Structures are given as structure tokens and as C-alpha cells.
Structure 1
Amino acid sequence: MSDLLQRYGVFLNVENPDDDARDALRQTVRTGGAVEQMGFHDVWVAEHHNSPFAIGSALTVLLAQIAACTSTIRLGTGASLLALNDPLRVAEDIASLDLLSGGRIEFGVARGGPFPAQYRSAGIASADAARERMHEALALIRRLWTEPQTRFDGRFFHCEDVAVYPRPLQRPVPVWLASLSGDSPRIAAEHGYGLMATPSADLGQVAEQVAAERARRGAFPFAIARFFHCDDDSRRAIEHGVAAVRAYPRLMGVQFPPGRLPPMFAPDAPEAVILANAIIGDPGQCVARAKQLGERLGPHRLLLKPATHDANEARASLARFARAAGLT
């Protein structure tokens, strides 16, 4: 698979296992800057709220810091939780980021994932309501970026003759829906959005959905995040990476609806299931696994989510992969 068909990015979640928020934030920014030098194409940062462990609540602040210490890497919101935020403010923040970064923003949006505490704190009753708010907010933001003045009368958001400044440098800003469920594939097809699969999404189901979408709409932007750990010693990489994936649901406090738990997060998930849905191993194994994804999924962006809380270890792991894949 050529580089034109498969791009490599990094997916960062601001994790604070040692209760040192300042260091967790600074290490995330440092990693975001380092991966540009390694040759990665994109760096995406997740947004989370109400968690002492996942503290990436100020998404645009983090990306602004990364933008300031980079010059070429694409900067993705992975993802902006539109249901929980004021869309006018998001429109202003993302436009400012796009201008300051020289037009490098990738605007990924999501309803908020399996974290009901986020919905409750925002007064949202359910995941379905959050999804509806997300799509409505996105429609409003895209109009605010292009119309001289916007009048909008939706179910959740209302404005009359509002103008937002500044406007983004990119026309248009690339939009990604971090969801393959509900109306997201249809809405993405109607508006030309990209689709993104989360690190825990089952690869078999993802492959089927991507193939079906390509049959319906032809080529379209697609990205998939995968848990990742690369060590020179294969067995050590697997032991560490698999243990990190097993611990992730507890640390993050995920709460999937009945019947929707990803196979890799099942309490008794075999090691083989986790490895089949991740990029874990020595450098050669990781690169081979990435190429297999390319053959199975077709053109896409592969976003590596480090499966370690040690920032130095994460950067070393990413550097091993970058060298083996010929990025540096």
C-alpha cells in the first residue's frame, strides 16, 4: 500500500494516572510536537470532561499549544464534543486555531462516547439526545463559517442575524464524524464528511461498514484509531499493550449500553481478540499489522493511540514504529 493510500497519525488522550495535571498536560503537548519530527502526518487530541483520569477538557487550548511548536503536521480535534459546548464559541475557537496554525485543522466531532456523566453534567438526558445536538450544532457551525449573518432556528440552538469572526483559513475546514452508528454515515455522505472509528471499535464490523459506505458513495475520507504499543521485544510489547487495553475501560469509566460492549473490552476477552483489534508488537510486527489494515480497509488514516501512561515510553514506542515504517 502506498503512502497516498495510508497516512499515519497519532491519537492522544490526556491521561493523568499520577494525579499531576500540569505534567500530564505538558507531556501531551510535548508528544504532539515530537511526532511531527518523527514524520507522522496528523496528531489528534481527545476531549473529555468530569474525569480525574482523562483531563483533556480544554481541547482547543491543547491544540493551540501543539500548533505553536509545530509547522506542518495536521491538527485534529478527536473529537470536539459539540453536544456539551456552545457552537458559537466552538466556531470562533476552531477558526482562530485554523488561522494561527496556517490552515492545519481537521475538525472531528462526536456526541461524547460511552461517558454518561458528561451528558448528565450538561443536562442532556441520553446519548441519542447528545447525537441530535451534535449534528445540529455542526450544521450551525458550518453556516457560521460561511454566511455573512446567520439565522438559525433548530430544536436545540437558536440565533438571529449572528456573525462570527474570525473565519477559518481553510474553505472548507475538513469535518470528521467520530461515529459509524445512527445517521452518521448518511449525514457524512450528504455533506462530504469523513468518518472515524474509535480505538475500541471492532475491526470486523468497521471493515463491513466501510466497504458498504464505499459501495454507496465511492471514495471518502476514513480514519481509524487503534491502541498501540511497540517494543523491540515482541513478548514484552504484547504483555504491556494487552494489559493496558484491559485496564482502559476501568480507568476511563466507560459505560456502554447493553449489548454494545466492544469485544476487546469484555472482561474475559482473549489476548488474540485484543491483538486483532490493535497495533501491538515489535517494530516489524506493528508495521506488518498496519499494512494488513490497509489491505483490509483500503485508503485511510491510521491513528495510533499509545497504550501506556509513561510519556517517554509512548514517544519511544512511536519513534520505533516511525523508523520501521520509513516515516523518518
Structure 2
Amino acid sequence: TALAAYRARAARTAPPFVLSRYFFCAEHRRAAIDAALPFVRDFARNMGAAIQRAAQSGSAELPFGVEAEAFAEERILANAIVGDAEECLDKIRALHDALGPHTLILKPASYDPLANRAALSLIAGHLDLTTV
């Protein structure tokens, strides 16, 4: 995996592993998904276009070095931290359990800055930093 390769190369001098995930938290799971979907769809469409341009140019390099499937809307949403507070916390805990110590960057998944702020405030109100 990418994490194992990173740790093997960097051995003792590696800075903490950094992972970013799209994020949106709402009172109800469906509201969170509905808020995040336009952003996720646009990102998936833009990455698909970038991959298509790279293929048409004859480039052997893929954007971000990954296959097009990594940018499918469903896969992006599955990897995102989107849902109600408990679901978001469960996903954060699962990442911690799988990765060990790391830095998690939450990338707001809405075009509305006020909605993003509310989503971050909602999850912050549920965080117990001693268990995450």
C-alpha cells in the first residue's frame, strides 16, 4: 500500500503521514450527502476530463498517478467523511485504527462557506480528542 511504501522509504525521519478526505457533516446523513454531492460530482467530472486529456495527448502519466476508477463519484463519496456526526466520527476512528498516527486534513465538500463552517462546527462539537 501507499502507506507501507511511505513508511519503508522514510524509516525514522518521516514526518507524520498526511491523508486528506472530503468532508461534510450534517444533522442527518441524507442532508450531508445531498450537500456534498454537487462538489463531489464536479470533482469527479474534472478529474475524468484531466485523465481523458492526458490519454489523448499520449502521456503515459496519469493525473495523481492513479487509475480513472479512483475518481469515480461513488468511490470519492465512499472514501469521504460525509454523514451525520456519529457516522463521520466512525469513519475518522476507522482511519485512525487502520493508519495509526497520522494527520487528517478535512477538505470541505460544499461550495457554500457557511455550510462548510456549520459542518466543521457540528463535528467539532462531537469530538473527544482523547479517543480519535
Q: Is the 8 A contact 1:226 1:305 kept in 2?
A: yes
Aligned with 2:92 (options 287, 290, 296): 290
Q: Which amino acid aligns with 2:92?
A: A
Alignment of 1:322 with 2:124, yes or no, is yes
For residues 27 and 68 of structure 2, the distance between their equivalents in structure 1, rounded to whole angstroms, comes to: 29
Secondary structure of the corresponding residue to residue 326 of structure 1: coil
Quick one: structure 1 residues 292 and 310, their matched pair in 2 at CA, closer, same or farther if it must change by over 3 Å? Answer: same
When normalised by structure 2's length, the TM-score is 0.73
Shift of 1:249: 4.3
CA contact (8 A) 2:48 2:68 kept: no
After TM superposition, the score normalised by the length of structure 1 is 0.32
**Which structure 2 residues correspond to residues 219-234 of structure 1 after superposition, within 5 A?**
220=14, 221-234=16-29
Deviation string, structure 1 residues 162-183 (Cα, Å, up to 9, x no partner): xxxxxxxxxxxxxxxxxxxxxx
Q: 1:305 to 1:254 in 2, by over 3 A?
A: farther
User: Unpaired runs of 5+ in structure 2?
Assistant: 56-61
The structure in which a higher percent of residues are helix is: 2
Q: Following superposition of structure 1 onto structure 2, how do residues 84-95 of structure 1 map, counting pairs within 5 Å?
A: none
Q: Which runs of 4+ in 1 moved over 4 A?
A: 249-254
Of 68, 78, 94 in structure 2, the residue corresponding to residue 276 of structure 1 is: 78
Q: Does 1:305 align with 2:100?
A: no
**Do residues 212 (structure 1) and 1 (structure 2) align?**
no
Unpaired stretches in structure 1, ≥5 consecutive residues: 1-207
CA–CA distance in 1 between the matches of 2:87 and 2:78? 12
Identity, % of aligned pairs? 39
When residues 253 and 264 of structure 1 are mapped into structure 2, their CA distance, relative to the original with a 3 A threshold, is: closer
2:69 maps to which of 263, 266, 280: 263
Greater Rg by CA: 1
Q: Contact conserved, 1:242 with 1:274, CA < 8 A, in 2?
A: no
> Which one has more relative contact order, counting CA pairs under 8 Å at least 6 apart?
2
Match of 1:238 in 2: 33
Amino acid aligned to 2:36: G
RMSD between aligned residues: 2.5
CA distance 1:227–1:284, shift in 2 (3 Å): same
Q: How many residues align?
A: 116
Separation (CA, whole Å) in 2 of partners of 1:252 and 1:226 = 16
Offset at residue 317 of structure 1 (A) = 0.4
